[in-house]
Amino acid sequence: MRASLGIVAVAVLLISPLTAQAADLYGRPAYAPPPYATPYPVRSPWSGFYLGGFIGATIGHQKFDEHGANQFFAVTGTGGAKLLSPTSDPDPAFGFDGHKASLTGGGFVGYNYQFGRMVVGAEADFAAKKTESAANATVMTNAFYGNTNTPGQTDTASRTEFFTGQVRQNWDASARLRLGGLLTPSILLYGTGGVAFGSVDSAFSFSATSVYNEIGGGSVTHTTFGAGSWNDLRIGWTAGAGIETALGPNWKVRAEYRFTDLGRSSKNIPLIRTTSGSALPNAGSSAAVADVSASFHTLRLGVAYSF
């Protein structure tokens, strides 16, 4: 009997700790491990749409050449007078080559995409400005005629010509591609180029008066006049480079240089010719021809907001 009681006591002592541990195992509340916190992705400041504005300076190169008024002295006069001098009578050249500076300002819109350290994009802009070049000239020429009716007598003629010309640019725009590389995560060095548009407004006037004295017994006067103005929408090209800095995920500032060439065009200006003596007609071209070319350099400082 005593042996049996001893065995039971030993069994109770051995089972009690196991029972307590089992109670603790099922009695304690179960806590889930904290979830893994995925960090938010960092947005690239170089991808997406953007809108901005700029201010800067432009230097316009405006060239004007007129080469077709063709106002010449008559080779023979009434009564058989012959032109002695000048032996050649070329059309006087008129033109100018101006470089004018102006403030410029406007806006731009574009889209960028970043892959690695490279950034590609497309951009369009519009700029207002005012560059204007103008010139005028007065050319006076004398001629001498030999009077065949009176040997040894010299008759004279004189010609006075007035020229005016003007070229003005009021605005320009462009649509371009951009390609650049990141010097640092926040500094972009880029090149840009594409098609350019712009206004080139021009004007020209010409007048000439030629007086033939005592040719064939009386004076004869020739007059020639022509004037015109035109407003051209030119299409050309533009190219340049710049540097841009991201101030955060949305704001950027830039400095950019570009050269733009709007090409060359020709215009005909009709001429009206009159004469006071039908025996000495006022012969020459029916129109003056003017060639106008326009290009400019621009330096711009801008700020942009990315969406």
Q: Sorting pLDDT into bands at 50, 70 and 90, what band is 69?
A: confident
pLDDT at 19: 45
Q: How far is CA 255 from the centre of its chain?
A: 16
DSSP 8-class letter at 199? E
User: Which pLDDT score, from 0 to 100, does residue 87 have?
Assistant: 85
Please give the domain boundaries of the chain with CATH numbers for all domains: 2-306 (2.40.160.20)
pLDDT in tens, 249-304: 899 999 999 999 999 999 999 999 999 888 788 988 899 999 999 999 999 999 99
* pLDDT at residue 136 is higher than 70: yes
CA-to-CA distance for 97 and 134, rounded, in angstroms? Answer: 9
| Cα–Cα dist 70/74, whole Å | 12
Report the mean per-residue pLDDT for the chain: 86
Enter the pTM of the model. 0.78
Average of per-residue pLDDT across 153-176: 94
The 10s digit of each residue's pLDDT in 106-129 is: 999 999 999 999 999 999 999 999
Closest residue by Cα to residue 68 from 232, 269, 292, 231? 269
Query: What is residue 3's predicted lDDT score, i.e. its pLDDT?
Result: 42
Tell me how far apart the alpha carbons of residues 104 and 256 are, in angstroms, rounded to a whole number: 13
* Residue 302 CB coordination number (10 Å): 21
User: Which regions of the chain does DSSP assign to beta strands (E)?
Assistant: 48-66, 82-85, 94-115, 118-146, 154-184, 187-212, 220-246, 251-270, 272-275, 287-306
